[in-house]
């Protein structure tokens, strides 16, 4: 089968079609995707992928969740546009790279055949794929999306950094908590579900 993730220059295909294919592939065939779709030094497609995921997730939350963003200076439209731009352009890439740096430190002690920081950034970026659906204030949906994303992070880390799954799980625990538990509000959603069941959980 033709490897759509590669092009003759050694990177991945660019453009909306390649982006959509990456999203489908990482959800349905994650091992194959991480094995063939993560290229050393080719962070740009992954960063764009994560930016689009965050854009869709935050735009959905903005529309469906009242008061999702604070209103500044009595300008609701400008406030929402600014908040959305900051989330996509500033917060997402900064959080992704900081988490990747932490992940790299954790890998140093456990993965002698690990890939580089660039590959770690890409794994984190593509693992966010399920979170396009995490915007609505539906705790069950948000928990499912973030749990799926954390699972993809485990699979991607194991595949790219040559680790067995059982070793990858503790290595990605903290990065997964930061990205999916706090960044995509998985912990808050889980807390809401537990509260409904009469269980108190503090995050």
Tokens standing for residue 122: 């890409």
pTM: 0.88
Place of tokens 């999203």: 23
Q: What is the pLDDT of residues 153-164, one digit of tens each?
A: 999 999 999 999
Q: Is the pLDDT of residue 203 over 90?
A: no
Q: What is the pLDDT of residue 46?
A: 93
CA separation for the pair 109, 25 (Å, rounded): 30
Contact between 155 and 66 (Cβ < 8 Å): no
CA separation for the pair 166, 188 (Å, rounded): 27
- Residue 198 phi/psi, 5° resolution? 85, 20
Place of tokens 């807390």: 191
Q: What is the pLDDT of residues 27-61, one digit of tens each?
A: 999 999 999 989 888 889 999 999 999 999 999 99
Contact between 201 and 191 (Cβ < 8 Å): yes
Residue from 73, 203, 189 nearest 131 by CA: 189
């Amino acid at each position: 089968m033709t490897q759509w993730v590669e092009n003759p220059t050694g990177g991945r295909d660019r453009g909306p079609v390649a982006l959509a294919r990456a999203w489908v592939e990482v959800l349905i065939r994650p091992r194959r995707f991480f094995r063939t779709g993560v290229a050393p030094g080719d962070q740009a497609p992954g960063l764009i992928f994560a930016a689009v995921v965050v854009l869709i997730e935050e735009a959905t939350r903005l529309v469906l969740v009242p008061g999702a963003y604070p209103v500044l200076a009595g300008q609701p439209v400008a406030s929402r546009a600014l908040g959305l731009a900051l989330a996509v352009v500033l917060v997402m890439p900064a959080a992704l790279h900081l988490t990747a740096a932490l992940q790299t430190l954790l890998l140093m002690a456990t993965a002698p055949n690990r890939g580089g920081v660039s590959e770690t950034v890409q794994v984190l970026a593509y693992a966010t794929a399920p979170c396009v659906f995490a915007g609505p204030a539906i705790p069950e949906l948000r928990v499912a999306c973030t749990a799926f994303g954390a699972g993809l992070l485990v699979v991607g880390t194991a595949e790219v950094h040559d680790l067995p799954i059982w070793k990858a799980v503790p290595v990605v625990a903290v990065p997964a908590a930061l990205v999916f538990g706090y960044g995509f509000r998985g912990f808050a959603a889980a807390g809401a579900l537990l509260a409904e069941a009469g269980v108190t959980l503090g995050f």
